[in-house]
Amino acid sequence: MNKFKVGIIGATGMVGQRFITLLADHPWFDLVCLAASARSAGKTYGEAIGGKWVMDSPLPDSVAGMTILDADADIDRITSLVDFVFCAVNMSKDATKALEERYAKAECPVVSNNSANRHTPDVPMVVPELNWRHIEVIDSQRKRLGTKRGFIAVKSNCSLQSYVPALYLLHAEFGVKDVLVCTYQAISGAGKTFDTFPEIVDNVIPFIGGEEEKSEKEPLKIWGEISGGIIVPADKPNFTAQCLRVPVSNGHMAAVFARFEKRPTKEQILSAWDGFEGEAQKLGLPHAPKKFLHYFTEDDLPQTKLQRDLEGGMAISIGRLREDTQYDYKFVCLSHNTLRGAAGGAVELAELLAAKGYFDR
Ligand SMILES: NC(=O)c1ccc[n+]([C@@H]2O[C@H](COP(=O)([O-])OP(=O)(O)OC[C@H]3O[C@@H](n4cnc5c(N)ncnc54)[C@H](OP(=O)(O)O)[C@@H]3O)[C@@H](O)[C@H]2O)c1
């Protein structure tokens, strides 16, 4: 198979750096173009990134010498070089939405990490293991945009990727009625390291702007159904969330309490998790974990530091399933926020779109 040529818009950011590491040796995608703001444009990636490279693996030499293009001013050049782009930019919602739509209208598919288009009704927001069929709404989106190839597809917010996978199959089988979730979120989710966020050391900050709303609302789009050319969000389960920033570099943990329409046994829950195989696993997508949900029986697992990198940071770790005095069950979930929750999730979504022919010319 010929590799698809790909660009990264927002290549100098925290998520952009992750994209670079994930695309360096990708079997299906060839990284040919990097773009960022006018501040970085014209510099080589090595010059622009300076001491800001925060990945564990070294910056690949092939990338360090690439010249950064201006995501806005060089759009014609960029779209002529690539088959599709990943987008992860720190801009206002309106500006991000306008930028993504310009790429799509230039017949360049956009796989986005940004939140700007997550609630656009004909933009699929996909976790490839869960609601992969939502990509079918792209046909309607293309009609709205007047494009043949161009479209926007997004991944969901990082926090919910820890707990929604654990609830997804249970909802289908037993009807999840109410969910209370408290998240303990890493500082890389704010694009920070301990060097750039010293006030988090020995501290917990009980506020992450907009996060609780996203954690309550976005799951309903994932459970939504395509009807009349848009995704109509589900009206259940009911979510209530509290999101805390904790002194952890990577990995979002969630403490979950769930009430069911038809209360399952503990064995039924464990068996549903154990047997979970999504479309991503069936298709053998390069970044799909072999096993999506891993349950740990030890009382003190999963731990952020020990399990966040499970299966390349793409698997979900679950533990501490037990009955609750007010809800039916409680348990703990963990996922890597910049791998599964951000760049890795977007790369896996792009693999799904490639496998289903959405990047074909
Ligand atoms: N960090 C996470 O874990 C995470 C998880 C999920 C989603 N996200 C989302 O992903 C996006 C990027 O997050 P991040 O943490 O990577 O942010 P970041 O580290 O602040 O990086 C922002 C990137 O956007 C570029 N940019 C800023 N203004 C621009 C403009 N006017 N035109 C073009 N490019 C511009 C920057 O380029 P310059 O270097 O040239 O300024 C940089 O490449 C955000 O929407 C964020 O909400 C982040």
Task: Report CA 237 to chain centroid distance, whole Å.
Answer: 21
Residue with CA at minimum distance from ligand 1 atom 1: 189
**Cα–Cα distances in Å, from 102 out to 87, 105, 146, 327?**
12, 5, 12, 46
Q: Which residues of 12-51 are buried (b: 16+ CB within 10 A; e: fewer)?
A: bbbbbbbbbbbbeebebbebbbbbbbeebbeeebeebbee
Sorted by sequence, the CB contacts under 8 Å of residue 51 that are 6+ apart come out as none
CATH fold of 4-157+343-355 reads Rossmann fold (3.40.50)
Inter-residue contact 78 to 33 (CB < 8 Å): yes
Find the catalytic residue in 33, 87, 108, 158: 158
CATH top-level class of 160-336: alpha beta
The closest-lying atom of ligand 1 relative to the alpha carbon of residue 95 is: 31
Q: What count of other Cβ atoms lies within 10 Å of the Cβ of residue 309?
A: 15
The sign one gets for the Cα dihedral 64, 70, 74, 80 is positive
Q: Cα–Cα distance between 257 and 215 in angstroms, integer?
A: 14
Q: What count of other Cβ atoms lies within 10 Å of the Cβ of residue 341?
A: 30
Find the catalytic residue in 134, 171, 252, 287: 252
Sorted by sequence, the CB contacts under 8 Å of residue 34 that are 6+ apart come out as 7, 8, 11, 12, 16, 20, 45, 63, 66, 67, 68, 69
The closest-lying atom of ligand 1 relative to the alpha carbon of residue 190 is: 1
Mean pLDDT by 10 residues, the chain (361 residues): 94 94 96 98 96 91 96 98 97 98 98 97 98 98 98 95 97 97 96 95 98 96 98 98 98 98 98 96 98 98 98 98 98 96 97 98 94
pLDDT at 122 (0 to 100)? 98
pLDDT at 51 (0 to 100)? 87
pLDDT at 356 (0 to 100)? 98
Residue 287 is a catalytic residue: no
Residue with CA at minimum distance from ligand 1 atom 15: 191
Q: Record the tokens describing residue 130, joined without a space.
A: 């869960």
Residue 252 is a catalytic residue: yes
pLDDT at 1 (0 to 100)? 72
Ligand 1 pocket: which residues have CB below 6 Å?
10-16, 36-37, 39-40, 71-72, 88-91, 113-115, 158, 188-189, 191, 337-338, 341-342
Q: Residue 282 C-alpha to ligand 1 middle, in angstroms?
A: 32
Q: Record the tokens describing residue 207, joined without a space.
A: 């506020």
State which of 8, 9, 15 you would mutate to test the pocket of ligand 1, scoring each by most atoms of that ligand within 8 A of its C-beta: 15
Residue with CA at minimum distance from ligand 1 atom 18: 13
Q: Record the tokens describing residue 269, joined without a space.
A: 């829950």
Instruction: Please report, for the chain, the start and end positions of each structural domain, with discontinuous segments joined by +.
Output: 4-157+343-355, 160-336
pTM: 0.97
State which of 8, 34, 37, 74 you would mutate to test the pocket of ligand 1, scoring each by most atoms of that ligand within 8 A of its C-beta: 37
Closest CA relative to residue 163, chosen from 176, 152, 145: 176
Inter-residue contact 107 to 83 (CB < 8 Å): no
